[in-house]
């Protein structure tokens, strides 16, 4: 949605189907903004392009497209520890995967959208419904970071 890749069209379709604001936690904001800045370091985008992306996200937050959502981090970490115990040794879930799913659970989200295979497995094991369209590679990069962390109200 903020950077073009193989998942952009599908992410846009999901966001349009939603018809409402997307949860946007401090974790997601940090991950997204860090990915933009890392792309500058990797020479994937210019500093000016990064600045435009950061401003676009801030604008979407002010416009209510992204709903700044406070979370109870103590509850999220407790949920994350349970998910880790249930999923990490068996499925290789990373801490960031688990934190995204734990956040969605604590927020009461029953449907989780991700293009990250590990996140999808953890979310399914936690009893959430996940998108099942394309099976994308495991991993996080600039092109997928925003699309892989969509959760909705």
DSSP 75-97: HHHHHHHHHHHHHHHHH---HHH
DSSP 8-class letter at 44: S
Residues near 53 by Cβ (< 8 Å), separated by ≥ 6?
A: 2, 3, 36, 45
- What CATH number is attached to the domain comprising 113? 3.40.50.1010
| Confidence bin at 22 (pLDDT 50/70/90) | confident
Q: What is the pLDDT of residue 153?
A: 35
Higher pLDDT, 46 or 138: 46
Alpha-carbon gap, residue 81 to 89, rounded angstroms: 12
Q: What range does the domain containing 39 cover? A: 8-149
Q: Is the pLDDT of residue 41 over 70?
A: yes
Q: What is the pLDDT of residue 10?
A: 81
In-domain check, residue 23: yes
Instruction: Evaluate if pTM is beyond 0.85.
Output: no
* Structural domains of the chain, count: 1
Q: What is the dihedral of CA 125, 131, 133, 137, to 10 degrees?
A: -60
In-domain check, residue 14: yes
In-domain check, residue 3: no
In-domain check, residue 1: no
In-domain check, residue 54: yes
pLDDT in tens, 86-141: 999 999 999 999 999 999 999 998 888 888 899 999 999 999 999 766 544 433 33
In-domain check, residue 77: yes
pLDDT in tens, 48-74: 999 999 999 999 999 998 999 999 999
């Amino acid at each position: 949605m903020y950077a073009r890749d193989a998942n952009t069209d599908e992410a846009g379709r999901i966001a349009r189907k939603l018809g409402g604001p997307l949860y946007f936690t401090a974790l997601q904001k940090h991950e997204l903004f860090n990915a933009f800045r890392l792309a500058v370091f990797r020479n994937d985008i210019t500093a000016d392009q990064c600045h435009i992306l950061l401003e676009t996200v801030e604008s979407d937050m002010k416009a209510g497209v992204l709903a700044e959502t406070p979370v109870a981090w103590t509850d999220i970490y407790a949920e994350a520890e349970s998910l880790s115990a249930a999923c990490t040794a068996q499925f290789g879930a990373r801490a960031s995967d688990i934190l995204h799913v734990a956040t969605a659970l604590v927020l009461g989200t029953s449907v989780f959208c991700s293009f990250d295979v590990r996140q999808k497995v953890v979310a399914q094991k936690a009893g959430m419904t996940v998108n099942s369209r394309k099976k994308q590679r495991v991993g996080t990069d600039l092109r997928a970071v925003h699309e892989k962390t969509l959760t909705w109200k």
